[in-house]
Amino acid sequence: MQHTLTRALIILSLGSGLFACETVKPTPTANTASVKKYPLDICIVTDNALGSMGDAIYMNYEGQEVAFCCKPCIKMFNDEPQKYLVKLPSASQ
Amino acid sequence: MRFKLFVVLLFALNPLISVSRADVREYHLTIAESEFIINGRARDAMTINGTVPGPVLRFTLGDEAVIHVHNTLRESTSLHWHGLLVPNDQDGVPLLTTPPIESGTTFTYRFPIKQTGTYWYHSHSGLQEQSGIYGAIVIDEPAEAGVTPIRDEVLLLSDWTDENPKEVMRALMTGNEWYAIRKKNYPSIVGAIEAGAFGEYLSSQWLRMAPMDISDIAYDAFLINGQSRIAIAGVAGERVRLRIINGSSATYFFVQSATGNLEIVSADGMPVTPLSQSRVLIGIAETYDAIVTIPADGSWEFRATSQDGSGHASAFIGAGDEHLAPEVPKASLYGMDGMLQSGMESHGAMTMDHETPRPAPPYRYLQSPHSTAFADVAPRREVTLRLTGDMERYLWSINNLTVTQESTIPVQKGEVLRMTLVNDTMMHHPMHLHGHFFRVVGEQGDQSPLKHTIDVPPMGRRVIEFEANESGDWFFHCHILYHMDMGMSRVVTYAPSGHVPALEPNLENTPVLMVDAMFLSNMTQGEAVVMVGREDFGVAWSTGYDIGSSNNSGMNSDMHSDMNNDYQVDAFWSHYISPNLSTTAGLRMTNQLEEFASGFAGIEYRLPLMVDLSLEIGSEGNGTIGLGKNFAITDRVTLLTSFFYDTYSLWDWQVGLDYRLDKAWSLTAMYSNEHGFGAGMTFRY
């Protein structure tokens, strides 16, 4: 019984790790409940498919979740956020 | 309208183009398998008229080209006139536009010469281009009385491997890391620490990023006109027009001259407003004409350095004391910024200096001297094409579909088709459109340059547009030979919907054999796999050498008191979904379970830090969970670790060290809790 429990715990912990690690998703910095979910499946900077360059990277920008294909895009976004935020569907409404 | 006007003017200003005045320029090209001396050593090659590259084909605007191609190979061949506007049936893509030239036969290409500039020709059959079937084309304006044109020199750049290109392809498809190791481009822990980039290394491991590699293949030589070092005549003060052609199969080059800046006057055969650049990145299949002025007596190096820094070729202009061109700094294996500079620039980032040490292609500075804008009334259409692929499995595609799965991009005659090319991969892709010039839409507006081939950098994008003014089928493909042959191509077709273009079979579903076998003093384990596309069919084994002493079949952990007794042979089928996930199922024969043979099914999943997780369920009711991780200590030394928990046999684990000797062999030492310590060799095929 103890063996069974141990095995179950191992498999459960590794299994949960498996799914938790699907994307790198830092916790939004503040007010999680009001963060708007990122609606696209492409990088907000390059338009490349999320996941095409390793795991996607998510960031909370002033209540809007944004996603990047890779780290260098974060710098480009931070330099000119408005240039890229217009790609979000809400920006055109 | 303005572009049409430009073309009309071009022809109007060249009265020699009229049919009555056309001169027939005739060539005979014999393609053969023969030895060719490269850098002092005879190599097995495919030659044209006995040489690599083939002869320079020179024409004058308005000529009629008549080219007899004699095929003495044991296989069919073809020649494509890269960048030339030729009738569809003369374009030289076997089956698609032109019949293959069968072994022992002759085919005569015949087409009018309608443009000037620097171009090239190459085989479009299989991987023959890599073996040497390519050459330069130079087309001049008709001579003007009293005008002496500037002297020109063709510099045809290429890459050379002593391996059979089919073996190169097999190595790429089976994921052999040797090419990166040989080029010292294989990321490792020690390498990252030495580069002061351990944090970046860990980060990329955590994010499950594939190792960065600028180029797929480790080449034996880089060549200019068939040699790694050539000499060109030249005297102080002379201006020379260098006709630079990248005729390589898989190599971008940085080109630079010790004489000073390159004055670029033409790109892909089309004139551009003169542009001064100290160093230029030339993509595969592109051409540039650059004028250099020889500053003083001496021998001045023009150097073409492979983008991955693994070598270079040189042309020394003039005679006397040597003046070398500057070294190109190698790209960092660990920092992403260097790798992605070109991609970022293609998104408009102004981070790149005009004269950065590793510049992006100079497209943003290229300006046509004339307007190239299309008529406002022409109907417009836009398509987005995502360049997709998987370096690990060596699958290359467009919009995640190979040319076999989706063959065509339909166009309507008279429309302007704008293509947005988004590169979702971590490699450059030089995309080439046959039979058309396209505008590179960018900062030059109406004077956007015209090209036939364009680099789309990693994670970058390019926007191109062309007027559909032809008919028939035209190939559009990545000009990395190995990517094209794996399916990264399409056919731009003017035919009605439903048309199925004829294509040569490519290699995307060609079965390849992969073997990874460890033979140690105490045990052997490994696998032999036939890989077909995303499917693997194979046999895996693991056993000590004194199997006969086993007397505890079907028992559990007690068996571990008898080392060397266990064996396991799996016959399996595995389906590759992504670099992070694959499924597997098969039949297992072992003395570790109650039954000799049982079935199993499971998944393999890559966790962050590149840890491989396997989960399996057996038909005997047993379950297995495994974790494996290879730590690249240096480029050649790998720490091997794996841990398995099976509900029958409980824990198994292995720890070992592997030292890579060459492409096939490595020295391996390993401790296994099941079989003890052993040392021996690992073989890879």
Q: State how far the Cα of A35 lies from the Cα of A45, in Å rounded to an integer.
A: 19
CATH value at residue B591: 2.40.160
B580 and B523 belong to one structural domain: yes
Number of C-alpha atoms within 13 angstroms, CB side, residue B171?
Answer: 18
Position B391 scores a pLDDT of 86
Is A48–B206 a contact, with Cβ atoms under 8 angstroms apart? no
Q: State how far the Cα of B25 lies from the Cα of B44, in Å rounded to an integer.
A: 31
Domain span at residue B651?
A: 512-684
**Is residue A17 assigned to a domain?**
no
B423 and B317 belong to one structural domain: no
Interface-testing mutation among B206, B347, B400, B557, with chain A (most A C-beta atoms within 10 A):
B347
CA neighbor of B492 nearest in space, from B506, B507, B508, B471? B471
**Is residue A45 assigned to a domain?**
yes
- Of A21-30, B204-213, B227-236, the least confident: A21-30
- Chain B residue numbers with beta carbons less than 8 Å from the beta carbon of A7 are 623, 645, 647
B126 and B232 belong to one structural domain: no
- Check whether B653 has a pLDDT greater than 80: yes
**Is residue A53 assigned to a domain?**
yes
pLDDT tens across B366-402, in order?
999 999 999 888 899 999 999 999 888 999 999 999 9
DSSP, collapsed to helix, strand or coil, labels residue B524 as strand
**Is residue A10 assigned to a domain?**
no
> What is the domain count for chain A?
1
DSSP, collapsed to helix, strand or coil, labels residue B15 as helix
Q: Which one of A10, A43, A55 has the shortest CB-CB distance to B645?
A: A10
Position B214 scores a pLDDT of 81
pLDDT tens across B565-595, in order?
678 999 999 999 999 999 999 999 988 767 7
Contact (Cβ atoms closer than 8 angstroms) between residue B106 and residue B69: yes
Separation in Å, CA of A31 to nearest CA in chain B:
26
Which residue in chain B is spatially nearest to A18 when comparing CA positions?
B607
ipTM of the complex: 0.70
**Is residue B206 assigned to a domain?**
no
Contact (Cβ atoms closer than 8 angstroms) between residue B191 and residue B634: yes
B129 and B155 belong to one structural domain: no
Would you place residue A32 in the very low, low, confident or very high pLDDT band (cuts 50, 70, 90)? low
**Is residue B228 assigned to a domain?**
yes
**Is residue A28 assigned to a domain?**
yes
CATH value at residue B63: 2.60.40.420
Boundary of a domain, candidates B360, B393, B411: B360
- Of B203-207, B274-278, B338-342, B648-652, the least confident: B338-342
B356 and B371 belong to one structural domain: no
- Check whether B172 has a pLDDT greater than 70: yes
**Is residue B190 assigned to a domain?**
no
**Is residue B184 assigned to a domain?**
no
B354 and B373 belong to one structural domain: no
- List of residues 6+ apart from A32 with CB closer than 8 A: none
Position B337 scores a pLDDT of 63
Which residue in chain A is spatially nearest to B647 when comparing CA positions?
A7
Is A21–B608 a contact, with Cβ atoms under 8 angstroms apart? yes
Q: Which one of A47, A55, A72 has the shortest CB-CB distance to B340?
A: A72
Instruction: Enter the tokens of residue B249.
Output: 């199969």
B394 and B426 belong to one structural domain: yes
| Mean pLDDT of the B539-567 span | 61
Is A55–B340 a contact, with Cβ atoms under 8 angstroms apart? no
Question: What is chain A's length?
Answer: 93
- Of A4-18, B400-414, B483-497, B608-622, the least confident: A4-18
Position B156 scores a pLDDT of 98
Instruction: Enter the tokens of residue B132.
Output: 């040497």
Alpha helix segments (H runs only) across B92-209: 128-131, 165-173, 178-182, 189-194, 198-206
Interface-testing mutation among B202, B206, B207, B399, with chain A (most A C-beta atoms within 10 A):
B207
- Chain B residue numbers with beta carbons less than 8 Å from the beta carbon of A18 are 605, 607, 613
B547 and B629 belong to one structural domain: yes
Position B18 scores a pLDDT of 39
**Is residue B5 assigned to a domain?**
no
B372 and B430 belong to one structural domain: yes
**b/e B579-618 (16+ beta carbons within 10 angstroms → b):** bbebebebebebbbbeeeebebebbbbbbbebbebbbbeb
**Is residue A3 assigned to a domain?**
no
**Is residue B680 assigned to a domain?**
yes
Domain span at residue A67?
A: 23-92
Identify the helix (H) or strand (E) that includes residue B312.
strand B312-317
B66 and B125 belong to one structural domain: yes
Is A54–B208 a contact, with Cβ atoms under 8 angstroms apart? yes
Contact (Cβ atoms closer than 8 angstroms) between residue A3 and residue A11: no
**Is residue A11 assigned to a domain?**
no
Q: What is the DSSP string of B320-382?
A: SSEEPPPPPPPPPSS-HHHHHHHHHHHTT---S-TT-SSPPPGGGG---SS--PPPTTS-EEE
Q: What's the per-residue H, E or C state across B414-431? A: CCEEEEEEEECCCCCEEE
- Chain B residue numbers with beta carbons less than 8 Å from the beta carbon of A80 are none
B240 and B103 belong to one structural domain: no
Is A11–B647 a contact, with Cβ atoms under 8 angstroms apart? no
Q: State how far the Cα of B623 lies from the Cα of A10, in Å rounded to an integer.
A: 12
Give me the amino acid identity at B54.
Answer: G
B53 preceded by a cis bond (ω within 30 of 0) = yes
pLDDT tens across B474-484, in order?
999 999 999 99
> What is the domain count for chain B?
4
